[in-house]
A = this chain, B = another copy of it.
Amino acid sequence: MTDVIAEKVARLLPAMIVQRRDLHKHPEPGWTEFRTSAIISKRLSELGYKLTRGKDAVVKDSMMGAPSDAALKQEQERAIRQGADPELVRDMEGGLTGLWADMEFKGGKGPKFALRFDMDSNDVIETEDPEHRPNKEGFASVNHGAMHACGHDGHVSIGLAVAELLADMKDELKGSVRLIFQPAEEGVRGAGPMVDAGCVKNVDIIVGTHISFQADKTGMIICGTRGFLATTKWDVDFTGKSAHAGAAPHEGKNALLAACAATTNMHAIARHGDGITRITVGRLEGGQGRNIIPAHAHLAMETRGLTSELDDYMTGECRRIIEAAALMWDCSYNIKVMGGTKSGEPTPDMVEQAMKVATSMPAFTEVVGIKDFGASEDYSHMMSAVQANGGKGIYVQVGSTRTAGHHNDHFDFEENDMVVAAEFLVKLVRSYLG
């Protein structure tokens, strides 16, 4: 029987590559996955899944860090221009791009097994290096400023392959499956509003997947990721007063110097004796013309901590430093929470089950049990919700050799590994529902 799955999934590879490259060429940042979501919806309908979409799948009031209405409108139009079904796009108005797809199996009663895939791209300008494969083979991003630099294009392709394989096994399996396609994983904003809409209600088992990352070599798999960093995402605005830089610089209140003082000093917050912390001001934009004292500056930043307490320490320090930086340059300030998530731990017996499945696959030459993550993923929000209801969950990293680190503008992975990931996930489902 193993052979059957392996064989089937291998035959899907060419289509998976085509699919992944089409997504790579048309990346869509968090909450603007209109085209991506429309493609998924269409395909899953064809395969016989029952869809939950739009306002039924995402609670609008829980959304954090959504683009402006104008920007959303523009991206919707682009999605349609790039071939998305206008009717499907309309249902997602306002950025409601998440969806889930259910299938009841005919093999009898059994648990509800959920798989989560993320869809969004990064705010990265893809390199123009001609050696970068997407440039060489013509599938580099055509949406300037957006790039699939974290492999979510691959995740969607894997999800669609898994969907097809499980649909094929409809009569054979028992229980049911739910495929969750999440928007806005970058910035850990998408999971919350989908959990609030019920995406993990009655789910007994859940698995989340990432390609490469810590499993940075083809042939490797990490079955029990733990140590998801708690994180907080802020937008900060400083407001001062503009003035003529030549004639009356003293009449200005320099919001840019406030932003620089905040940025530098927040990075200098004392490392915490109890564990890992992070601070990053990922973007700063301030001032208007060259000869005008800057009256405004904007920061996009985040903190992280191994535990929620450590993240709280960081946000506490940051809040005080931001207030002080504003005072330092006689400005006012505003902090807006744009995202955030808590920590999470895998269910031990499910880690073992995953290791058993992985060990049975010749594709895996290195099977790792538990590994500290050192990063954030709002999948931990879904997993914790399942566990809180007595369910179990893990987060799996499927190995893939890559050309550069995640979020780097040269990022690319080994496309063949998508097949291995799909095979593993289907076999993991079968090990519970078979």
Please state if B290 and A375 are interface contacts (CB–CB under 8 Å): no
Q: Determine whether A17 belongs to the interface, using a CB cutoff of 8 Å to chain B.
A: no
Instruction: Report the Cα distance A257→B269, complex, angstroms.
Output: 10
Stretch at the interface among A4-12, A173-181, A324-332, A350-358: A324-332
Residue of B with least CB distance to A376: B246
Q: Mark A233-265, 1 if CB is under 8 A from B, else 0.
A: 100000001111111111110101101110111
Residues of B within 8 A of A268 (CB): 257, 264-265, 267-268
Please state if A405 and B321 are interface contacts (CB–CB under 8 Å): no
Give the interface residue-count category, chain A.
35 or more
Please state if A300 and B304 are interface contacts (CB–CB under 8 Å): no
Give the oligomeric copy count: 4
Q: Mark A253-294, 1 if CB is under 8 A from B, else 0.
A: 010110111011101101111101111111111111111111
* Contact (A327, B324) CB under 8 Å given A246-B231, A293-B270: yes
Q: Determine whether A186 belongs to the interface, using a CB cutoff of 8 Å to chain B.
A: yes
Query: Residues of A at under 8 Å CB distance from B?
Result: 122-125, 145, 186-187, 213-214, 229, 231, 233, 241-252, 254, 256-257, 259-261, 263-265, 267-268, 270-274, 276-295, 297, 300-302, 304, 313, 320-321, 323-325, 327-330, 338, 373-376, 405-409
Residues of B within 8 A of A406 (CB): 244, 247
Please state if A292 and B122 are interface contacts (CB–CB under 8 Å): yes
Of B122, B249, B297, the residue contacting A271 (CB under 8 A) is B249
Please state if A291 and B261 are interface contacts (CB–CB under 8 Å): no
Residues of B within 8 A of A285 (CB): 284-286
Shortest beta-carbon distance from A211 to chain B in Å: 14
Residues of B within 8 A of A252 (CB): 270
Residue of B with least CB distance to A272: B250
Residues of B within 8 A of A145 (CB): 288
Of B242, B270, B290, the residue contacting A254 (CB under 8 A) is B270
Please state if B330 and A124 are interface contacts (CB–CB under 8 Å): no
Residues of B within 8 A of A408 (CB): 241-243
